[in-house]
Amino acid sequence: MIKIKLILITTLFLASTSSYAGLVIYPANDQSPEQQQKDEGECHTWAISNSDYDPANPPVAAAPEQTSGHTGSRLRGAARGALIAEVADGDAGKGAVAGAVAGGSRERRSQRKAGNEAQASADQAQQAGLNEYNKARSACLEGRGYSVK
């Protein structure tokens, strides 16, 4: 009974460690669960050092740089708005306010776009790292007689 529990626990552990990397591993040479656990652990360590990526501790993407306020955009917008309003109806004050609001809005959109692009780039780097890790781990396990999909 104790041996059955040990095999069940080992099998569940192996299933959980294999699945986080998206691999299915089959002991093609009738390796024991203990041997498979040992081999998977060693291959995990080797794959991390070979790929410079650890799926259990992936690198954290840097947050996009935020500017502290929108002063430049607001000032440019205010100047443009004042100039246009002065020419159009002679009320530069109203035009300056409208231009400042538009300039701040433009800056926020620009920052949002930069943040989205940075996140997409970080996601691509994350996936590339995981792919390299999986490739290295698969090579190691296949070299030890496992079928890896």
Does 50 map to a domain?
yes
pLDDT confidence of residue 120: 86
Handedness of CA 31, 37, 41, 42 (dihedral sign): negative
Mean pLDDT estimate for the chain: 75
Q: How many domains does the chain contain in total? A: 1
pLDDT confidence of residue 72: 64
Does 102 map to a domain?
no
pLDDT digits (tens, 9 = 90+) for 56-66: 988 886 665 65
Taking residues 72-79, report their average pLDDT: 62
Does 22 map to a domain?
yes
Cβ contact 61:119 at 8 Å = yes
Longest dimension (CA), the chain: 93
Angle at CA of residue 97, ends 95 and 103, nearest 5°: 100
pLDDT over 50 at 19, yes or no = no
Does 17 map to a domain?
yes
* Amino acid symbol at 92: A
pLDDT digits (tens, 9 = 90+) for 102-130: 666 666 777 787 778 888 888 898 999 99
Does 88 map to a domain?
no
pLDDT higher for 106 or 33? 33
pTM metric for this prediction: 0.56
Range of the domain at 40: 2-60+142-148
